[in-house]
Amino acid sequence: MMENGLINPENQRRRVVFVTGASSGLGKATVSHFLSKGWSVVATARDPRNLPVGSASDNLVSLRLDLSDPDSIQSAVMQAEDRFGHIDVLINNAGSGLAGPLEAMDASMLQKHFEINVIGAASVTKAVLPGMRYRRAGTIVNVTSVAGRLGLPFMAPYVASKFALEGLTESLRYELAPFGIKVRLVEPSGIRTRFEHEWVSDAPYDRQLATVRGRMAAGMAKAALPEKVANVVYRAAVSGGSTLRFPTRDASVLLLMKSLLPDAFMQAFMRAQFL
């Protein structure tokens, strides 16, 4: 908070986290978790009406941020730095879901999906880096998915965007290390939230698609609560080690299976699960 043009010294001492996609689900749970740990929190979303509201003296500020709008990204980061003086941790959580047969999707749908899930996360990261480089400290936490390391039927665009974000994050790990900036990945499996994929259908695939959607819906009923995953996000943010990837427990099981099982067995398992 500014006092006579100066940053409140109390805010300089607090650790500050900047969270995208904070209006619901994992983002909302992450905001609550960091607040409970005494952090100052910048909660952002495309529609700020759905964000928690703090008073001028609180350690919470809610801001509009549209991942498809570079000006809104830059404005949100500048407002956060004006309010709290710095950003210690960025949580790139916001994203979109696109599902269905690739044959039914046009190029504009794919482009929009990648603009949000990959270019949007890269743009927010780019906006916070000057301040982190100057301070030679900071942590970037990108929330991907088990789908960033494992193919899923009728989820090709979503999986591709998560694979891309995994590659971007792993590359930044090396690129930013000389500046004292840590980079982390959080890899959930299912999360029990209201997040919904935009489903596209096509007649030749209708039977398979109905099966996949039904099994995914059943799986969501057993998925991890967002509060559980928020704890993993927090652990990744404060980790002092060199670990890059922080999968949730259920994601760890799937990834271990993929690493140990022959490809033919893994393919049979995935078909049995979804098709």
Residues 61 and 132: their CA atoms lie apart, in Å, by 20
Please provide the DSSP assignment of the chain as one string. Answer: -EETTEE-HHHHHS-EEEESSTTSHHHHHHHHHHHHTT-EEEEEESSGGGS----TTSSEEEEE--TT-HHHHHHHHHHHHHHHS--SEEEE-----EES-GGG--HHHHHHHHIIIIIIHHHHHHHHHHHHHHHT-EEEEEE--GGGTS--TT-HHHHHHHHHHHHHHHHHHHHHGGGTEEEEEEE-S-B-SS---EE---GGGHHHHHHHHHHHHHHHTTSBPHHHHHHHHHHHHH--S---EEE-HHHHHHHHHHHHS-HHHHHHHHHHHH-
Q: Which of 134, 158, 174, 205 is catalytic?
A: 158
Question: Catalytic: 158?
Answer: yes
Active site residues: 158
